[in-house]
Structure 1
Amino acid sequence: MGCECSKLTSCCFMSEQNGPVHEAHKAENEERGEVSDLLTFREYSIEQLRVATSGFAVENIVSEHGEKAPNVVYKGKLENQMRVAVKRFNRSAWPDSRQFLDEARAVGQLRSHNLTNLIGCCCEGDERLLIAEFMLNKTLAKHLFHWETQPMKWAMRLRVALYIAQALEYCTSKGRALYHDLNAYRIVFDDDGNPRLSCFGLMKNSRDGKSYSTNLAFTPPEYLRTGRVSPESVTYSFGTLLLDLLSGKHIPPSHALDLIKDRNLQMLTDSCLEGQFSNDDGTELVRLASRCLQYEPRERPNPKSLVAALIPLQKENEVPSHVLMGIPHCSEVMSLSALGEACLRMDLTAMHEILEKLGYKDDEGAATELSFQMWTNQMQETLNSKKKGDVAFRHKEFGGAIDCYTQFIDVGTMVSPTVFARRSLSYLMSDNAQEALNDAVQAQVISPVWHIASYLQAASLFALGKENEAQIALREGAILEEKRTAAS
């Protein structure tokens, strides 16, 4: 939900390697926004990404334009448990595989705290996919136009503007000055609530080089004339973004410029911001937006000038972004169910009791398939293996349970997320944490939104000593369980 607009209110050198010279270089990189501790860019197979996204499950779609959009973005999880966003292009896009790979590799060299960094791609047959860091806290469009609990604060809106200007400045310094279709859907928020510019916009959307998919009223005038995008066109789009931040709505630039010309600024400003900033600050942001929206491209400021203009406007610099955004931080205590608490404490006995009591309640689709196929001898033997596994699991004979469930799984005719979950816990009970993790991941491949699969991954990761990854999986399980409870 949003708000109607209202009025504008009143070297040292040392011989040892990795000494101060190394630290100084690292500090310089951080100051320029560069990140050196991320995975290096690599190519993935379509099968790896199919597993990561649970078969490109509808439940894993995160692009806000829906399942039928030409290029769909999925959330996923790589083998190393890293959360990723996977953009799958329409099959008609990028017919030239060499061009796609060259573009992806070039974008994949960029590393910045202000970008969702591109960590891989897939170019296999007709498939064209990009893999980037996953941002948990959704898009600027969601927080600005469709907020549910509180409107975005003025200080946070200014921070968004600065961080995105810094991202554009960094990309320009690395020879990637063109950004295609900069808008509120291209800006996402990380675990700390900091805004990041999506790396996907650094590559064209389709084979015809189309650079804008939004309403023509928001596209730069020179693009309408020539069909070509330039660095100055990106500045124009940044100006429309400033208008979004100021108004809390998507106002066409022509209308906004008319309001500015008539000094009718109260119609341009989000009423939810009343009392949060001075007239001078509001006027300065409007002035900057109007400069970005100049008809002649050469009259618009470059990213470096934008950064310089936005730094003095920053407010509440000491307040973390997640606090300004009003969103929970990954370090905060979560509200966990009995199963979540048991996983956090690594209380395997309690986990066993809960899974045993749950039975196959979350496995109805597989149960239907089993009953339909019971007439064959092979199916009967398979079912017997499962039943024996269940008996062993109930009596805490975990070695026997592993053997019986493995016989059931190896036949491969039927799938059961519950069997994988039970074998996962049996592996944990037998001090085989990696096997337990593999089974928990497989359970989620079968059932992408099953919270128990996430909880078991968390327990397995705790057992493997991977505390950070475990906490993320635990939070994911809590979110899935909360959604399930709310829907029931």
Structure 2
Amino acid sequence: MGCNFSKYIACCWSTEKQQDRPVPEVQDDENEDNNEGSDLLPFHEFTFGQLKNATSGFAVENIVSEHGEKAPNVVYKGKLENQMRIAVKRFNRSAWPDVLQFLTEARSVGQLRNQRLANLLGCCCEGEERLLVAEYMPNDTLAKHLFHWETQPMKWAMRLRVALHLAQALEYCTNKGRALYHDLNAYRVLFDDEYNPRLSCFGLMKNSRDGKSYSTNLAFTPPEYLRTGRVTPESVTYSFGTLLLDLLSGKHIPPSHALELIRNRNLPMLTDSCLEGQFTNDEGTELLRLASRCLQSEPRERPNPKSLVTALTPLMKDSEVPSHVLMDIPDVSAAAPLSSLGEACQRMDLTVLHEVVEKLGYKDDDGTETELSFQMWTNQMQDTLNSKKKGDAAFRQKDFKTAIHRYTQFIEVGTMVSPTIYARRSLSYLINNMPEEALTDALQAQIICPVWHIASYLQAVSLIALGRDREARMALKEDNSHRTHAGFSMFGYIAWDRVVYTCA
């Protein structure tokens, strides 16, 4: 590392013997909350139908959290009708039987608004369903970037930023009367669009109706929790200490083992070899001292969040450098060039859209034709099939009013569900200057098949026609980013959509 190692050991050992030295407190009475998320809407109570639509029926491909017997509450990604991306946590049916307790807890957490949090936007409580809705953080967890990195390890300056932002989040919550955080760990720290670290709001809710659930390995739980089964503000500080060890070592070292290494002066085991030369003797010593203070067996000897912020702030390096630069990620704010179809949507070129939708055909509806063939012996099914054929002929001949009428006849029978029919009727509505109806059909097409990007393009054009340009840009930007990550060419969208729908 970038310091004399024997001096580093001596300095840490001397510090460890002086652990009763208090961490300096912040003198300010209160944060000014100058980084609160003021642009977010107030807490909202969603219907179950809204969240079902937003997650495409809680589709498996929208699951973003690990789940199983030990973590039965699944988190899904989704998108509201205004194109806002959300994360939806759906609790198992045995959780939160008390409706009032759930609503009270959710509303309380929903009052928090801060840029250090992945804020809680709303909830849903219908029948046995209990769901939370939060801001969606698209760039994985601290655990992924710290323990399971693929290209290069997280830099020291970024690790310090994570520690400080997390401490600031805890200080904000404490100042707002939410000092308890359940199961604080590296999976609870998320990264937003700009790769800034944020604390998940889900941990501010109790994990279960009695608040006794703790999902991490017991080797990492606070000593007092093992005795009482309760989370206290001091327990949160203890968990923060384990995160400091994670950041320093790049490994998930049990606190008892870490303290033993400190006592035995075996510090190389506590420092990530990938950080060599990135921090000074004093910086390493201070972070290790702070972690040791957080991990004190007596809760009253641990620092509070305000003290953590005070201790970490002077350690910050490259504070003006954007997080995505520290993470060696290309500028995420720079707009990638749109595909040729995206550009056509932006200029409202419905002729190009019509050509694309017509060429796609019904590759997405392979099962529809087969199912119809078994039911064609009834007059009703024959009439339904004829409505579809007449709608297709009208669509091909650009008689869009007739197409709307015929496709509506097909849809109203309700026997078959076809995303292509909804897409074609959506475009027909657009050409007939009926953007609200067009948007509804485009959303319905995406609910049926979430990965079909033609539906996203139709949504974008509908939103432009409605004067909702910001939401339209979000739809086009998100769709373009999906295609960039997937490695598709700008002119390969027709073939790609066919492949997806053949497999869907």
1:17 is matched with: none
2:154 is matched with: 152
**1:247 lines up with 2:262 in the alignment:** no
Once residues 319 and 467 of structure 1 are traced to their aligned partners in structure 2, the CA distance between those partners, rounded to angstroms, is 31
Once residues 281 and 346 of structure 2 are traced to their aligned partners in structure 1, the CA distance between those partners, rounded to angstroms, is 50
Q: Secondary structure at the match of 2:72?
A: coil
1:447 is matched with: 449
CA contact (8 A) 1:117 1:133 kept: yes
CA contact (8 A) 1:8 1:265 kept: no
Q: How does 1:35-50 map to 2 (within 5 A)?
A: 35-50=37-52
Aligned length: 465
Q: Deviations over 1:357-406 (max 9, x none)?
A: 11112222333333333332212211222222222222222222222222
User: Alpha carbons of 1:202 and 1:270: their partners in 2 closer, same or farther (altered >3 Å)?
Assistant: same
Cα distance, 1:133 vs structure 2 = 1.3
Give the aligned CA root-mean-square deviation in angstroms. 2.3
Cα distance, 1:35 vs structure 2 = 2.8
CA contact (8 A) 1:451 1:480 kept: no
User: Alpha carbons of 1:201 and 1:448: their partners in 2 closer, same or farther (altered >3 Å)?
Assistant: same
Q: Deviations over 1:106-133 (max 9, x none)?
A: 1111111111111211111111111111
User: Alpha carbons of 1:277 and 1:375: their partners in 2 closer, same or farther (altered >3 Å)?
Assistant: farther
**1:134 lines up with 2:136 in the alignment:** yes
Once residues 35 and 416 of structure 1 are traced to their aligned partners in structure 2, the CA distance between those partners, rounded to angstroms, is 40
**What amino acid sits opposite 2:47 in the alignment?**
S
Gaps of 5+ in 1: 1-6, 11-27
Cα distance, 1:82 vs structure 2 = 2.0
Q: 100, 103, 110: which one pairs with 2:102?
A: 100
Once residues 368 and 259 of structure 2 are traced to their aligned partners in structure 1, the CA distance between those partners, rounded to angstroms, is 60
Segment of structure 1 superposing worse, 349-358 or 331-340: 331-340
Q: 233, 236, 240: which one pairs with 1:234?
A: 236
**What amino acid sits opposite 1:168 in the alignment?**
L
Q: Deviations over 1:125-167 (max 9, x none)?
A: 1111111111122221222222233322222111111111111
Segment of structure 1 superposing worse, 260-269 or 51-60: 260-269
1:14 is matched with: none
**What amino acid sits opposite 2:455 in the alignment?**
A
Q: 356, 370, 373: which one pairs with 1:371?
A: 373
Q: Deviations over 1:28-52 (max 9, x none)?
A: 9874432333111122222222122
Once residues 372 and 187 of structure 1 are traced to their aligned partners in structure 2, the CA distance between those partners, rounded to angstroms, is 52
Q: Secondary structure at the match of 2:473?
A: helix
CA contact (8 A) 2:83 2:474 kept: no
Once residues 410 and 263 of structure 2 are traced to their aligned partners in structure 1, the CA distance between those partners, rounded to angstroms, is 73
**What amino acid sits opposite 2:268 in the alignment?**
Q
Cα distance, 1:76 vs structure 2 = 1.6
**What amino acid sits opposite 2:55 in the alignment?**
T
**Which structure has the bigger radius of gyration?**
2
Cα distance, 1:199 vs structure 2 = 0.8
Once residues 373 and 480 of structure 2 are traced to their aligned partners in structure 1, the CA distance between those partners, rounded to angstroms, is 32
Q: Deviations over 1:157-199 (max 9, x none)?
A: 1111111111110110111100000111111111222111111
**What amino acid sits opposite 2:154 in the alignment?**
M
2:171 is matched with: 169
Once residues 273 and 471 of structure 1 are traced to their aligned partners in structure 2, the CA distance between those partners, rounded to angstroms, is 40
Q: 333, 336, 346: which one pairs with 2:335?
A: 333
1:71 is matched with: 73
Segment of structure 1 superposing worse, 464-473 or 405-414: 464-473
Once residues 248 and 374 of structure 1 are traced to their aligned partners in structure 2, the CA distance between those partners, rounded to angstroms, is 63
Q: Secondary structure at the match of 1:170?
A: helix
Segment of structure 1 superposing worse, 343-352 or 167-176: 343-352
Once residues 444 and 68 of structure 1 are traced to their aligned partners in structure 2, the CA distance between those partners, rounded to angstroms, is 32
Q: 299, 302, 310: which one pairs with 1:300?
A: 302
1:401 is matched with: 403
Q: How does 1:191-230 map to 2 (within 5 A)?
A: 191-230=193-232
CA contact (8 A) 2:335 2:477 kept: no
Q: 181, 185, 188: which one pairs with 1:186?
A: 188
CA contact (8 A) 1:92 1:207 kept: no
Gaps of 5+ in 2: 5-29, 489-495, 500-504
CA contact (8 A) 1:9 1:274 kept: no
Once residues 149 and 334 of structure 1 are traced to their aligned partners in structure 2, the CA distance between those partners, rounded to angstroms, is 23
Task: Provide the identity percentage.
Answer: 77
Cα distance, 1:219 vs structure 2 = 0.5
Cα distance, 1:480 vs structure 2 = 4.3
2:389 is matched with: 387
CA contact (8 A) 1:115 1:167 kept: yes
Segment of structure 1 superposing worse, 394-403 or 210-219: 394-403
CA contact (8 A) 2:70 2:215 kept: no
**What amino acid sits opposite 1:42 in the alignment?**
H
User: Alpha carbons of 1:261 and 1:480: their partners in 2 closer, same or farther (altered >3 Å)?
Assistant: same
Once residues 467 and 82 of structure 2 are traced to their aligned partners in structure 1, the CA distance between those partners, rounded to angstroms, is 13
Q: Secondary structure at the match of 1:363?
A: helix
CA contact (8 A) 1:451 1:481 kept: no
Once residues 254 and 116 of structure 1 are traced to their aligned partners in structure 2, the CA distance between those partners, rounded to angstroms, is 31
Q: Secondary structure at the match of 2:131?
A: strand
User: Alpha carbons of 1:287 and 1:384: their partners in 2 closer, same or farther (altered >3 Å)?
Assistant: same
Once residues 372 and 163 of structure 1 are traced to their aligned partners in structure 2, the CA distance between those partners, rounded to angstroms, is 61
**What amino acid sits opposite 1:180 in the alignment?**
H
1:284 is matched with: 286
User: Alpha carbons of 1:64 and 1:332: their partners in 2 closer, same or farther (altered >3 Å)?
Assistant: farther
Q: Deviations over 1:240-270 (max 9, x none)?
A: 1111122222111112222222332222222
CA contact (8 A) 1:451 1:478 kept: no
CA contact (8 A) 1:242 1:289 kept: yes
Once residues 103 and 295 of structure 1 are traced to their aligned partners in structure 2, the CA distance between those partners, rounded to angstroms, is 30
Q: 273, 276, 279: which one pairs with 2:275?
A: 273
1:456 is matched with: 458
2:21 is matched with: none
User: Alpha carbons of 1:456 and 1:262: their partners in 2 closer, same or farther (altered >3 Å)?
Assistant: farther
CA contact (8 A) 2:234 2:302 kept: yes
1:121 is matched with: 123
User: Alpha carbons of 1:164 and 1:186: their partners in 2 closer, same or farther (altered >3 Å)?
Assistant: same
**What amino acid sits opposite 2:204 in the alignment?**
L
User: Alpha carbons of 1:435 and 1:9: their partners in 2 closer, same or farther (altered >3 Å)?
Assistant: farther
Cα distance, 1:458 vs structure 2 = 2.4
Cα distance, 1:221 vs structure 2 = 0.7
CA contact (8 A) 2:71 2:215 kept: no
**What amino acid sits opposite 1:324 in the alignment?**
L
CA contact (8 A) 2:82 2:471 kept: no
